[in-house]
């Protein structure tokens, strides 16, 4: 593929959008960007004492290679994501990536609504808070044996409240996005549904 073709995927934490996005990108040979990693990288720097806006402006691609998938960093990412200056600093990078030659898949919180509103495919991947909390618990328990299901659910609900309630680019399903509820789906079923949706929108040839 040499033309521009953007797949924008939004959704709340632990809904499965990252897994779906990576699988879609691999299936169709598209570049992939987990935009949440940008905010996690900034959050990690803030935890080490950096100023959020300065950290966002100085972000280097190498910063995304660190282990950023901890509960502490995820919470920090959600906090810095409500800062307008941080979002502005990261917006141009994401928009350029979205319209790169060869096609791209981006997943995050405001891809369909802010970063790539003209995307050829828009998906909103979601699931119930309880299902998402259990998925996150299973993902993180080996790294942090002190976690509890109740604590993870509280964190998921708190992140939802911050992401959906922020004044700047709140998390919301775009009006023209296809909603994919994965609450009762296996990973294979969710990926298959997403691939079918993207495939139906790809230009022939």
pLDDT, one tens digit per residue, over 116-159 is 999 999 999 999 999 999 999 998 999 889 999 999 999 999 98
Q: Is a pLDDT exceeding 70 seen at residue 200?
A: yes
Task: Flag whether 16 is marked binding.
Answer: yes
Flag whether 1 is in a domain.
no
pTM beyond 0.75, yes or no: yes
Task: Flag whether 205 is marked binding.
Answer: no
CATH number of the domain encompassing residue 56: 3.40.50.300
What is the overall mean pLDDT for the chain? 92
Q: What is the domain count for the chain? A: 1
Please state the length of the chain. Answer: 205
Flag whether 29 is in a domain.
yes
Flag whether 205 is in a domain.
no
For residue 21, the enclosing domain spans: 6-200
How confident is the model at residue 63, as a pLDDT? 87
Task: Flag whether 192 is marked binding.
Answer: no
Task: Flag whether 19 is marked binding.
Answer: yes
Task: Flag whether 81 is marked binding.
Answer: no
pLDDT band, very low/low/confident/very high, at 67 (cuts 50, 70, 90): confident
Nearest-angstrom CA–CA distance, 79 and 83: 8
Nearest-angstrom CA–CA distance, 37 and 29: 21
Q: What is the mean pLDDT of residues 82-87?
A: 91
Task: Flag whether 148 is marked binding.
Answer: no
Asked whether 6 and 107 are in contact (CB, 8 A), the reply is no
Task: Flag whether 103 is marked binding.
Answer: no
CA 35 to chain centre: 5
Flag whether 64 is in a domain.
yes
């Amino acid at each position: 593929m040499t033309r521009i073709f953007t797949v924008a995927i939004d959704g709340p934490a632990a809904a499965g959008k990252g897994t779906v996005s990576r699988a879609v990108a691999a299936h169709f040979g598209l570049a992939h960007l987990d935009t949440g990693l940008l905010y996690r990288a900034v959050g990690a720097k803030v935890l080490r004492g950096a100023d959020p806006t300065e950290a966002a402006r100085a972000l280097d691609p190498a910063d995304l290679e660190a282990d950023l998938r901890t509960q502490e960093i995820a919470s920090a990412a959600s906090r810095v994501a409500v800062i307008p200056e941080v979002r502005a600093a990261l917006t141009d990078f994401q928009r350029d990536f979205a319209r790169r030659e060869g096609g791209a898949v981006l997943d995050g919180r405001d891809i369909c609504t802010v970063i790539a509103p003209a995307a050829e495919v828009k998906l909103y991947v979601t699931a119930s808070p309880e299902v998402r909390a259990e998925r996150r618990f299973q993902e993180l328990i080996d790294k942090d044996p002190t976690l509890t299901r109740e604590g993870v659910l509280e964190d998921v609900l708190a992140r939802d409240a911050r992401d959906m309630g922020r004044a700047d680019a709140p998390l919301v399903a775009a009006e023209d996005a296809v909603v994919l509820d994965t609450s009762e789906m296996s990973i294979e079923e969710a990926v298959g549904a997403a691939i079918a949706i993207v495939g139906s929108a790809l230009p022939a040839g």
